[in-house]
Amino acid sequence: MTVLTSDDAARGWLASQPGVDAVAMARLERLVALLIDENTRQNLVSAGSLEHVWLRHIADSAQLLVHVSHETPGPWVDLGSGAGFPGLVIAALRPECEVVLVESRTRRIEWLTRAAGALGLDRVKVAGARLETIEPFRAGVISARAFAPLDRLLDLSARFSTSDTIWLLPKGRSARDEVTQLQGWSHTFHVEHSLTDAEAGVIVGQVSGRVSVKKGRKR
């Protein structure tokens, strides 16, 4: 099991990934600079995590791309984007992909909008509203980092999913337990190990619909 343990290792891994060229790395460098500057005005991420920003935030976000092909259709919907992880990193590495950042907090909305503009990410859309109020549309990929427990997350966002939608959910140490305990959904979720934390996992899979727990029937 490969686990990155330093910023140098994270940078090296990123630079070795398919399609990540000098332009993409420069875009990530710019994102890091913007994040550090903005963090002096609002607490986007913990100050301590900035000491290992490439490992804790950039590579941790970018690893989701390992689980989808480059041809996977969009839009990529990132729920509760907050500081922009993983959404802004995905957009920086796949600028041709439509990425929708869902965020309800005003100052975070403003940050995401400014950052996307500064990085020239013209295919990023910031959906500045509570998830419950957004009109549903078909997502190609749905990601969420520390947004909600898995059962609650599905309750809120399955209306954006088709049977082809790929879900990518970094879940830390709770990943396996959340999949094991999930009831009421027909799914193919499994857990992949995290490249940035030996004890963390990423839930990967698809959802085909709700099921009746009593009768085992989809509805």
pLDDT tens-digit profile of 65-89?
999 998 888 899 999 999 999 999 9
pLDDT tens-digit profile of 16-53?
999 999 999 999 999 999 999 999 999 999 999 999 99
pLDDT the model gives residue 215: 47
Q: Say if CB 132 and CB 157 are below 8 A apart.
A: no
pLDDT the model gives residue 76: 98
pLDDT the model gives residue 214: 58
Phi, psi of 174 (to 5 degrees): -85, 0
Q: Which of 150, 168, 153, 154 is nearest to 205 (CA)?
A: 168
- CA-to-CA separations, 28 to 53, 54, 93, 95, 164, in angstroms, rounded: 11, 9, 8, 12, 29
* Gap between the Cα atoms of 138 and 159, Å rounded: 8
pLDDT tens-digit profile of 140-163?
999 999 899 999 999 999 999 999
pLDDT tens-digit profile of 117-133?
999 999 999 999 999 99
Specify the residue for token string 């290992």.
52
This prediction's pTM: 0.94
pLDDT band at 216 (very low <50, low <70, confident <90, very high): very low
